[in-house]
Structure 1
Amino acid sequence: MSEKAVTDRRRRAADWFRNLRDEIVARFEALEDVEAVGPFAGLAPGRFEVTPTKRTAEDGGDAGGGLMSVMRGGRVFEKVGVNWSEVQGSLGARAQAAMAARGVPGMAEDPRFWASGISLVAHMQNPHVPAVHMNTRMFWTPHACWFGGGADLNPCIEYEEDTAHFHAEMRAACDGHGPLDGADRYARLKDWADEYFYIPHRKRARGVGGIFYDDLATGDWEADFAFTQDVGRHFLPAFVPIVERRREIPWTEADRHTQLVHRGLYAEYNLVYDRGTKFGLESGHDATAVLMSLPPEARWP
């Protein structure tokens, strides 16, 4: 493939992720504009604080960066981050080894990479509203190019109706894109999420799942990109109706305790197991942006 074709694909993907970030930020701020009741009635509507981020380049060259968008202390969101990034450079030894372990060839000979994506984590004020995570990304090396991402719901107080709604939207994102690895796409990615978002030392899942995929390179870049776009498009329909349904439910201090303990599980997973956290820190990206996913408060039993 020509250098121009590669550059064009990168630009299309990075622009898509940036536009998705803009859409989600606007929709979340619109949720904040609805007048609150109960303990959050006196709060002003939350707004995102947007900070440019930079990746550290060992050679001093242009390594790219992104936008870290964080809202704290809103009527609906206690803390939510919607980050977009476009970074490039050369992978260090540990990141090269991680790529080699995943089957990416030639990294020792040519460790250049480019990556862009959106990463979102929301921790909510009302314990009846679930936390949520979503990300989609494209990763390129001179030897391979792939997509990854997914979304998963993390309630501390589970409602079967909410879980069913979220999974129905994730299935809808998969519909029309055909099987994957010889299996139903949604079923394959749901199982992958159940496996990936499992906390071994707690012997439990961190939430009620969703879908997850990585290393998606079927040989049809356009099809893989189209699927990744559909995952992003279905996020707001999957999550916003749940927020609107649960945001005004009264809650108790016992509910808040349950929420904080559940956040402890979330923090443990992201610090110990999450692949994206490890890669972000090892590749020199802004540590504050990488650790945006951590909750503002948590508790351990």
Structure 2
Amino acid sequence: MTEHFDEHKTRAAAWFRALRDEIVAAFEALEDAQTTGPFRDVPAGRFEVTETRRQSEDGSDAGGGHKSILRGGRVFEKMGVAVSTVYGKLNPRARAAMAARKDFPGMEDDPRFWASGISLVAHMQNPHTPAVHLNTRMFWTPHGWWFGGGTDLNPCLPYDEDTAAFHGVLKERCDRHDPDHYPRFKAWADEYFYVPHRGRARGVGGIFFDDLNTGDWEVDFAFTQDVGRAFLPAFLPLVERRRDTPWTDADRAAQLAHRGLYAEYNLLYDRGTRFGLETGHDPEAVLMTMPPLASWP
């Protein structure tokens, strides 16, 4: 299985990097085009790119990637995009977590893994412009492989028309592959992006899928690519619609409070955050998605 999947790994990792490049270019263009509003006179935001590395428990190289972070722009208060390709052996804690999910029987005997993906979160200057998250990934072990990911919208001041437009793009892309995908993965997102101790959702949802393995790698990869391609058409029109909306101190307070909720979810429940920290990935890259400012009661 290892030799058979070498080409698949190469293609998947290259796709995630290409998606990163497309998103970074689109958001820097958005910064350039913002010539109105209270931040029009600050320099247009640019992404600072740094390398990330993962070390195995014995100190050997175990892959890495790059994190791209934009801070203090005209549109984005903080925007982070990370791509990585990591590999090695799962440590006992991560191995136990995989076993508990029953994803890959045999991990106790052969705990080798390979994972590649892209993850991003955008925190906006204007409280009326929604925050957003995207993640897609491929995970491989000698015992199996799967794709996962999704995207969800996180407004502090929700607009029904924005929610409908965002979901509309996702449904159209899902329907290209299977009419059952959107209702299934929307419901999965509603369940996954729920904050139990607050008794509420993190945002207005989107789609989420995990452990996707139909037995046809090409089919699953094509769907994962379409989820990535849907991101800009789903999100950019909302930014363009809301970025010049006037806001008040109360709006800003609502934004900071919602970011507190977002931070709680990411630290307590997000599976990707836990996996990254438990497998020794660069913590700065794993926690890159945290908001620049937040508040709590």
Percent same amino acid at aligned positions? 71
CA distance in 2, matches of 1:160, 1:41: 28
CA distance in 2, matches of 1:173, 1:102: 28
CA distance in 2, matches of 1:42, 1:289: 30
User: Deviation at 1:260?
Assistant: 0.2
| Aligned position for 2:156 | 156
**TM-score of the superposed pair, with normalisation by structure 1:** 0.97
| Aligned position for 2:90 | 91
For 1:210, give the aligned amino acid: G
For 2:120, give the aligned amino acid: L
CA distance in 2, matches of 1:65, 1:133: 21
CA distance in 1, matches of 2:279, 2:172: 34
User: Deviation at 1:102?
Assistant: 1.1
CA contact (8 A) 2:130 2:155 kept: yes
User: Deviation at 1:185?
Assistant: 1.1
The CA RMSD measured in Å over matched residues stands at 0.9
Q: Name the stretch that deviates more: 104-113 or 194-203.
A: 104-113
* Residue pairs, 1:1-301, within 5 angstroms: 1=1, 3-103=2-102, 104-179=104-179, 184-301=180-297
User: Deviation at 1:39?
Assistant: 1.6
CA distance in 1, matches of 2:34, 2:189: 35
CA contact (8 A) 2:138 2:146 kept: yes
CA distance in 2, matches of 1:173, 1:38: 33
Structure 1: gaps spanning 5 or more residues: none
For 2:44, give the aligned amino acid: P
CA distance in 1, matches of 2:76, 2:195: 25
User: Deviation at 1:293?
Assistant: 1.0
CA distance in 2, matches of 1:285, 1:72: 22
CA distance in 1, matches of 2:156, 2:235: 15
> How many residue pairs get matched?
296
- Cα deviations by residue, 1:49-106 (Å, 9 ceiling, x for unpaired): 0000000112333311001000000000000101000000000011000110111211
SS at match of 2:41: coil
- Cα deviations by residue, 1:6-47 (Å, 9 ceiling, x for unpaired): 100000000000000000000000000013323212211000
CA distance in 2, matches of 1:4, 1:98: 26
**TM-score of the superposed pair, with normalisation by structure 2:** 0.98
User: Deviation at 1:149?
Assistant: 0.3
For 2:48, give the aligned amino acid: E
User: Deviation at 1:216?
Assistant: 0.3
Structure 2: gaps spanning 5 or more residues: none
CA distance in 1, matches of 2:175, 2:217: 18
For 1:132, give the aligned amino acid: V
For 2:54, give the aligned amino acid: R
CA distance in 2, matches of 1:35, 1:175: 34
CA distance in 1, matches of 2:280, 2:238: 36
Segments of 4+ moved more than 3 angstroms: none
CA contact (8 A) 2:34 2:75 kept: no
